[in-house]
Amino acid sequence: MNRLDDVRSILSSLVAFDTTSRRSNLDLITWTEAFLDPWATSVIRLPSRDGLKANLWARFGPDEPGGWVLSGHTDVVPVDGQPWETDPWTLTERSGRLYGRGASDMKGFLALCLAHARQFSGRPLKRPVHFAFSYDEEVGCAGVGPMIEQIMLRGAAPSVVWVGEPTLWNVVSAHKGVRVYDVVVTGKDAHSSNPALGASAIHEALELLVTLRGIARRAEMSPVADPTFEPAYPTLTIGAISGGTAANILARECRFTFDLRSTPDVDPDELLTPFFDQVHRSRERLSVHGPECGVSVQMNANAPGLGRRSDSEAERLLRLLTGDNAVRSVAYATEAGLFQQAGLSSVICGPGSIDQAHQPNEFLAVSELERGLQIFDRFLGIIS
């Protein structure tokens, strides 16, 4: 079996595991542990609190600080309701494309990492190479945090974190942060003929929604710190809203969710201050109608942005490996921001196109794997 066939075979095995975020990833983790066992110096499983999922931290070479982390997530998004032309859990090759859920986002990079485990094992490494495979990236980068904490606690802080999200092997050195909030307004139902006897949750929600729209409009007018982002300013959108039962009943409940994507130079807490001030006022108004009335705000995702560090070791390494010197930023979030928040030099670069992520008939071009083999050859030349 040649090297490309080896990568293709590993990718086929990875795609076959349905690791949709709502499901466990443990079968894939167990398979990966067995795959790495002959080659890695250590393989550590880091379970989630409920034990249903796990991160995987593997090391090649000496147990000391420094070295390189190759990072990727094992979970994928659902295929429900999408018009797939092939079985999403069976890697299918057609006309130079490999179809399957996660092929591009981002099991292709994981397959390249695993296909080189033997080479990493056989090199006299002076600094370690790590694999960091996470869970729940697709639901707000929720799973990788405990693994980063363990990395730092073990005194194994790396010099470079290479996050292999799909970029067509272009270097991406900055991305926006993402927060997602669910808001529940609880009022008091009453007949619409006498509104003073109740409190409409919808009316109170409107005050909050108008405040959020004001924040969004002001953000559009804010000074542009990094024009490489598109759009170059923070964005805030209302994604869903529901509430009420009938035209002649004051709504007891109104729910909505909103998404904030802030550039790395913007403090999201400061940006949202007017909203939380309005939440406080709404709670005070509603409280007179009973203790059950009020406003609940829950943050369901919080992925920090990745700030540009043009002179970082991570960026220098990936530019050397790829030959790419263009300056790029993206509006989607990755785990790179969390690694950087922990003080680790991080950059994004990997096979496949982000345009394929989350789509029906997701595919990874075979040519992307071929280029990946060349890039990994250069990496092997640098680390040994």
* Share of residues in the chain with pLDDT > 90 (%): 93
Is the domain of 32 the same as that of 147?
yes
The residue from 276, 303, 330 where one domain ends is 303
Structure-token pair, residue 56: 């995987």
Domain count, the chain: 2
Is the domain of 266 the same as that of 371?
no
190 is in which domain, residue-wise?
177-303
CA distance 266 to 131: 31
Contact call for residues 57 and 152 (beta carbons, < 8 A) = no
Is the domain of 11 the same as that of 155?
yes
Is the domain of 122 the same as that of 224?
no
CA distance 150 to 154: 6
Q: What is the mean pLDDT of residues 115-137?
A: 95
Q: How many CA atoms lie within 13 A of 128 on its CB side?
A: 23
First to last CA, the chain: 25
Is the domain of 127 the same as that of 61?
yes
CA distance 25 to 42: 20
Q: Could you give the 3-state DSSP secondary structure of residue 311?
A: coil
Is the domain of 368 the same as that of 250?
no
Is the domain of 158 the same as that of 10?
yes
Is the domain of 257 the same as that of 346?
no
CA distance 116 to 4: 11
CA distance 238 to 257: 6
Positions marked active-site: 75, 137
pLDDT digits (tens, 9 = 90+) for 256-308: 999 999 999 999 999 999 999 999 999 999 999 999 999 999 999 999 999 99
Confidence of residue 1 (pLDDT cuts 50, 70, 90): low
The residue from 269, 286, 303 where one domain ends is 303
CA distance 165 to 111: 13
Output the pLDDT for position 259.
Answer: 97
Is the domain of 215 the same as that of 101?
no
pLDDT of 192 above 90: yes
Helices (H), 224-365: 268-271, 273-287, 313-322, 336-341
pTM (2 decimals)?
0.92
Is the domain of 85 the same as that of 162?
yes
pLDDT of 86 above 70: yes
The residue from 258, 285, 303 where one domain ends is 303
Output the pLDDT for position 157.
Answer: 86
Name the maximum alpha-carbon separation found in the chain. Answer: 81
pLDDT digits (tens, 9 = 90+) for 41-55: 999 999 999 999 999
What letter represents residue 23's amino acid?
R
